[in-house]
Structure 1
Amino acid sequence: MVKVNLEKCIGCGTCKADCTAANIALKDGKAVHGKFCLECGHCLAVCPQHAVALVGNYDPSEIIEYDPKQFEITPERLLNFVKFRRSIRQYTGEPVSDADIAKILEMGRYTQTGANMQLLRYIVLTKDTLREITPIALTALAELDVKSVDKKAMRVPHQYLDFQSIWVNWHQVYQKNQRDLLFHGAPNALLIVSRKCNEVDGCLNAGHLELMINALGLGACLMGFGTFAFDVSPELKQRVGIREDESVIFMMVFGHPKVKYLRTVNRKKVKYEKI
């Protein structure tokens, strides 16, 4: 909930003008919050008098005053950073440190969510757990009856079903020599978990998580096939503790890259309309 320090509030109306829920009124020259607060914190961030606080499950020590030197990134540098990213499918055996994992999850925690509901949770899979679930996931994909799959209910593109012959091959390769062509032998994986039908929040989160992974000098690969495997395999969900009302919104593997890229790659021209 939001608390206003009435001694500090000067009734300037800055918070009222920026409240997305139209939940703030000025009464007797002071800001007063109604009952429809989203706890987004806009009023806290915009108040020139430091009169607003989020109370409850919020740590006030996390608040940082704006400083251009600490916050601003040039558009050119940001674009180059994104241009240089690659999906990594070769990893060293070095595990990712707990300190780096904490920074990755912090990036996810601060990523926007619809209506500020903040319903996502995360499961970090270790190398041992990944090795345990790899044959389960490959078997689920290789033995899937694709004709019985309801395409309209799929949370990933239904064109994925056209890859089953590849999944069968990956499964055979794994059975023969333990080579992992699904998760690429990565040392860690990250599951973004939420209630069902929360894909938008999960996709936004995945993009931001990968940015932090790259900023730490690590690499990641978004796992559409892995995400789908969790959808079709009750055994996988049970193994990692996915509840009945939850889904793995998205999966990615990550670790220390074994490959070094030397340049960006050109892409097709952008398609857009200005109406």
Structure 2
Amino acid sequence: MGINFKIDENLCIGCKKCVTDCPVSIIGFDKVPFMKDETHCLKCQHCLAVCPTGALSILGKDPKNSISADMINLDSSELEKFIKFRRTVRKFKDNELSEETLNKLIEATSYAPSGHNSKKTFLTITASKLETDNFLAFMMREFEIYLKSNTLPDAYSFLKYVHYQYKKKGDDVTFRGAPHIIVTSIPKGLTISYVDTIIALSYFEIYANSLGVGTVWSGIGRYFFEILPNLKDYLKIPEENSIGYVMAFGIPDVRYYRTVQHEKLNHKILGLK
């Protein structure tokens, strides 16, 4: 099948934008663009996106089905306010998100950039509060078994407190009572693969907030994955994948009325006094 690189000669104006924008320089030009070496194509679709007349299609994608730049009217000042207003949520309602909302989140996350456009990040999501609670219970049982081996590294000793809060007080410190979690994973051995999973979750979080969905990055959850290999099996995460990160999400049970006021990160801009 190949990459199905096609040019509508009735629409092509010979601007060569697809030729000059291709990140691996595999598009040539002879009256119209042509594919020189499809084996090195990244499948990034930059050529489809940069064509001003929609004359180019690739991978069976019809440019008419893409969102046109003319349809985007995003005010940068409003986006800045939105980013600054984002808060980590640690109180959630039991309300579950609809399948439609979950699929919208997955689709938006699919547009996150990845190294070499590999798109290898795998998303595992719990669809219900029951599914999330059952997994949390399994995690705590597995941790109890692990504790009996007396091999818990000192760096993970705080997980004993997390377990105590859950068993003795019914307090979910790991997922904060959220109805859903998302776990990112990626095949082992890929270059900068862990970074890809974090970028994907960042896209997930921003879009989730735009839908009124709160999120919390669960470092505790990731720590449990590091010492409890059976967690991957429980969630049916591919055996060849390593865990990226864990995030809990749902409808917030808290309302924030204003932004906080952070200081700028330590920084240096080269070339400026």
Q: Please, what TM-score do these two structures have when normalized by structure 2? A: 0.86
Q: In 1, distance between residues paired with 2:62 and 2:250?
A: 30
Measure how far apart 1:121 and its partner are: 2.3
Q: In 2, distance between residues paired with 1:2 and 1:212?
A: 32
Letter of the structure 1 residue corresponding to residue 180 of structure 2: N
Letter of the structure 2 residue corresponding to residue 7 of structure 1: E
Measure how far apart 1:261 and its partner are: 0.8
- Once the two structures are superposed, the pairs formed by residues 40-189 of structure 1 within 5 Å of their partners are 40-56=44-60, 58=61, 62-67=65-70, 70-125=71-126, 126-138=128-140, 143=147, 145-147=151-153, 162=155, 164-165=157-158, 167-189=159-181
SS of aligned partner of 2:5 = strand
Q: Which residue does 2:24 correspond to in 1?
A: 21
Going from structure 1 to structure 2, the CA distance change for 1:83 and 1:54 (only over 3 Å counts) comes to same
Greater Cα offset, 177-186 or 90-99: 177-186
Q: In 1, distance between residues paired with 2:99 and 2:62?
A: 22
Q: Deviations over 1:32-64 (max 9, x none)?
A: 1122211211111111332211224x5766412
Q: Deviations over 1:238-273 (max 9, x none)?
A: 101122210221211111111111111112332111
Going from structure 1 to structure 2, the CA distance change for 1:31 and 1:37 (only over 3 Å counts) comes to same
Q: Sequence identity, in percent?
A: 29
2:21–2:47 contact (8 Å) kept in structure 1: yes
Q: Deviations over 1:145-174 (max 9, x none)?
A: 354xxxxxxxxxxxxx64623x21221121
| Structure 1: gaps of 5 or more residues | 148-160
2:114–2:196 contact (8 Å) kept in structure 1: yes
1:271 counterpart = 2:266: yes
Letter of the structure 1 residue corresponding to residue 212 of structure 2: G
Q: Which residue does 2:215 correspond to in 1?
A: 220
Measure how far apart 1:21 and its partner are: 0.6
RMSD: 2.1
Measure how far apart 1:75 and its partner are: 2.1
Q: Which residue does 1:244 correspond to in 2?
A: 239
SS of aligned partner of 1:241 = coil
Going from structure 1 to structure 2, the CA distance change for 1:60 and 1:48 (only over 3 Å counts) comes to closer
Measure how far apart 1:213 and its partner are: 0.9
Q: Which residue does 1:33 correspond to in 2?
A: 35
Determine which of 4, 7, 21 is the counterpart of 2:6.
4
Measure how far apart 1:139 and its partner are: 5.5
1:120–1:194 contact (8 Å) kept in structure 2: yes
1:190–1:252 contact (8 Å) kept in structure 2: yes
Q: Which residue does 1:255 correspond to in 2?
A: 250
SS of aligned partner of 1:253 = strand
Q: Which residue does 1:154 correspond to in 2?
A: none
2:215–2:250 contact (8 Å) kept in structure 1: yes
Q: In 2, distance between residues paired with 1:231 and 1:61?
A: 45
Letter of the structure 2 residue corresponding to residue 71 of structure 1: I
Measure how far apart 1:112 and its partner are: 1.4
How many residues in Structure 1 have an aligned counterpart in Structure 2? 257
2:95–2:250 contact (8 Å) kept in structure 1: yes
Q: In 2, distance between residues paired with 1:6 and 1:95?
A: 46
| Structure 2: gaps of 5 or more residues | none
Q: In 2, distance between residues paired with 1:171 and 1:61?
A: 53
